[in-house]
Amino acid sequence: MDTSTRQRWLSALANSPIERLLALLPPALPADPRWLRRAETGLMMLQGRSGGAGARFNLGEISVSRASCEIDGHVGHGWVCGSDGRHAKLIAQADALLQDPARHGELMLAWIAPLENELAERRAARSREAASSKVEFFTMVRGE
C-alpha cells in the first residue's frame, strides 16, 4: 500500500462523523481484534507558520485520541481530534482491514468512496455559505 492512498483513507475516516462510521463499518469489523493500544486521549502541540511559509511556532494544544489494533497480521492505527476513543478504535480497525489486499478494493468502494463524496459535499456547502457573505472591497485612487 502506498503512503498517499493510506493517508487518503485515514483522512476520510478521521474527518467523517462517528455516527456515519457506526452506520457504515460494523458489519465488516471483526468481533474481537487484538488491541495493541487501547483507545487513549492526550494532547498534541499544533505548529503554525507565519505567512504559511515562515518560521515555525507553537500555536497551541489540541486533544487527540488514538488506538492501534492487529487484524489478520495487519496493524491499523486510528487518530482523531477530540476525546472520542470509539472513533479512534473504529478508524484503527478500518485501517487494518483496508491494508488487506483481498479486501482492499471492495472496502474502498463500500467505505471510502461514499465518505469522500460526503466530505466533498460538506466542504462545497461550507464554501457556498462563506461565498454568500463575501464582501468585495476596492480602493479608489485620488488623482493629484
pLDDT digits (tens, 9 = 90+) for 61-119: 999 999 999 999 999 999 999 999 999 999 999 999 999 999 999 999 999 999 999 99
Q: How far apart are CA 71 and CA 43, in angstroms?
A: 27
pLDDT digits (tens, 9 = 90+) for 106-134: 999 999 999 999 999 999 998 888 888 87
Kindly report the pTM of this predicted structure: 0.83
Alpha-helical segments (H) within the chain = 3-14, 18-24, 85-98, 101-107, 113-132
Q: How far apart are CA 21 and CA 91, in angstroms?
A: 9
